[in-house]
Amino acid sequence: MFPLICASVNRRARRNAPLSILHPPCGSVENIRVNHYDLAGKTAIVTGGAGGFGVAIAQRLVASGAAVRLWDVDAERLEAATAELRASPGHVTWRRVDVTDEHAIAAAIAAEQAASVSGRLDILINNAGILGETKPIWETDAVDVRRVLDVNLMGAFLCLRAVTRVMRLQESRPHRGHIVNVASIQGKEGMPYSAAYSTSKAAIIGLTKSVAKELAQEQIYVNCITPAAAETPMAKLISAERKADILRRIPMGRLVEVDEVARMIAWLVSADCSFSTGAVFDLSGGRATY
């Protein structure tokens, strides 16, 4: 039922220098065989689409047959990522969208619907995020806290609200839509010196659970994932000492790889995800205790 394919898309991407900057090589998933999900005919929006997770998620969705719309604030990286992803079969476009700007989101949604052959929006990956300051609470700047909550929480909320307005009105085939919010292990456990980020990710878990209950009878699935740390551009903002501390907390003794995040998301947005909603999916190498 789930034909297995080799991870040839990943290997092809890794041979390309430009994308490897965004999507660093990860040895342990190099030779595995992955499940393939059929997302042909689906349109997916990936926010933070120019970043480390974003590119890997887009790559997996494109390889599964979806048309992918990358949204991000960084137009230069969007352009580079899209050019690279177009080497894979499928269709990728990009749009500069600031997820904190509800008017920009409304305009982008209308444009994506107009550009989509079916007019449908089937998948939303709320992935845009920022780390903010890493400081003790007594030294933390309130402006920075507001910015982190604005991007990580309000950005997800605004995109979720805009997309569900479209999804609720479209035909169920047999589902109307799948939404995945990218939270973090820090949202479950907290993390010293990262109160704003951890709070924003805990709030994403609450947002996921609440909205999923509202949409449970509308064939719209809303789930979230809680990855541990990965080697993406975001991780470059973390000191070596803090990285070592993070690594020590992970029983498997390694960071999560961006392909592992993308593969979990591929299942979560597929037709196979039919009785899971409002759920928190762990990607922490054993770190999470619940």
Ligand X SMILES: NC(=O)c1ccc[n+]([C@@H]2O[C@H](COP(=O)([O-])OP(=O)(O)OC[C@H]3O[C@@H](n4cnc5c(N)ncnc54)[C@H](O)[C@@H]3O)[C@@H](O)[C@H]2O)c1
Number of H helices, E strands in the chain: 11, 9
CB of 33 to ligand X, least distance (A): 25
Among 19, 105, 151, 262, binds ligand X (CB under 6 A): 151
Find out whether 188 and 138 touch, Cβ atoms under 8 Å.
Answer: no
- 193, 197, 221, 290: the catalytic one is 197
Q: Which is nearer to ligand X, 6 or 237 (CB)?
A: 237
- For the beta carbon of residue 28, count every other beta carbon within 10 angstroms: 11
Cis amide leading into 136 (omega within 30): no
Among 43, 64, 82, 127, binds ligand X (CB under 6 A): 127
Given the rule CB under 6 A, which of 32-40, 67-75, 114-122, 135-143 is the region that contacts ligand X? 67-75
The answer to the question of residue 229 lying near ligand X (CB under 6 A) is: yes
Among 233, 272, 276, 279, binds ligand X (CB under 6 A): 233
Among 44, 105, 182, 222, binds ligand X (CB under 6 A): 182
Both tokens of residue 173?
């085939």
Among 59, 140, 184, 270, binds ligand X (CB under 6 A): 184
Given the rule CB under 6 A, which of 1-9, 160-168, 213-221, 231-239 is the region that contacts ligand X? 231-239
Terminal Cα distance for the chain, rounded: 31
Q: Which is nearer to ligand X, 29 or 234 (CB)?
A: 234
Among 52, 90, 177, 285, binds ligand X (CB under 6 A): 52
Given the rule CB under 6 A, which of 73-81, 139-147, 169-177, 210-218 is the region that contacts ligand X? 73-81
Q: Is 221 a catalytic residue?
A: no
Three-class secondary structure of residue 46 per DSSP? strand
Task: Give which of 216, 213, 121 is closest to 173, Cα–Cα.
Answer: 121
Among 128, 145, 205, 220, binds ligand X (CB under 6 A): 128
Write out the DSSP string of 79-136.
Answer: HHHHHHHTTSSSEEEEEE--TT-HHHHHHHHHHHHHHSSS----EEEE----------
Q: Which is nearer to ligand X, 34 or 182 (CB)?
A: 182
Given the rule CB under 6 A, which of 52-60, 171-179, 188-196, 262-270 is the region that contacts ligand X? 52-60
Q: Say how far apart CA 192 and CA 27 lie, in whole Å.
A: 30
Question: Which region, left, alpha or beta, applies to residue 119 given φ > 0 means left and ψ of -120 to 50 means alpha?
Answer: left
- For the beta carbon of residue 2, count every other beta carbon within 10 angstroms: 12
Catalytic sites, residue numbers: 197
Which residue ranges make up the site for ligand X (CB under 6 A)? 47-48, 50-54, 72-74, 77, 98-100, 127-130, 151, 155, 182, 184, 227, 229-230, 232-235
